Amino acid sequence: MGTRRKSRELTMQMLFQGDLGKQTPEQVNKLFWTSRDDVDEETRSFAEDLYRIATVREDEIDDLIQAHAQNWRIERMPVVDRNLLRAATAEMLGFPNTPGPIIINETLEVARRYAAPESIHFLNGVLDAIGKAVLKARLA
């Protein structure tokens, strides 16, 4: 598994931990890394960057997800799906040089490992719509 994909997976796990455990970002950062001493610095650094963006811009990210997940309230989405969307949207917003299709593809690969099989199409559709909206806003 590549460094970036591993970072994306770790970011989703951090968001999942904070979401399900109702933990603050500080609590997640403290607890999450205590059992992961096998993660190299580059992987950890990118995961922490994505997590920081996802938590600092949480309201903006959730608004984007809500606007593009037709007929789905964010709080009713499966926890894994919701946090995969948050991590990918954070990357789209925070790393504009990474092409949207790469972010989407990598997110779907992580989803194949953690999400329900029926989630793949849902995630792909929502992330595609978010990617187009982010790109449009960037060009405006």
Domain boundaries defined on the chain: 3-139
Which of 12-16, 106-110, 134-138 has the least mean pLDDT?
134-138
H helical segments located in the chain: 3-21, 25-32, 41-56, 58-68, 79-94, 100-114, 119-139
Q: Cα–Cα distances in Å, from 31 out to 16, 18, 23, 36? A: 13, 10, 10, 10
Residue 134 has pLDDT above 70, yes or no: yes
Q: What is the mean pLDDT of residues 78-106?
A: 96
Residue 139 has pLDDT above 90, yes or no: no
Exposed / middle / buried, residue 5 (Cβ in 10 Å: 0-12, 13-18, 19+)? middle
pTM of the model: 0.94
pLDDT tens digits, one per residue of 3-53: 899 999 999 999 999 999 999 999 999 999 988 888 999 999 999 999 999
Helix 100-114 vs helix 119-139: crossing angle, to nearest 10: 160
> Which CATH number among 3.30.70.600, 2.40.10.10, 3.30.450.20, 1.10.940.10 corresponds to the domain 3-139?
1.10.940.10
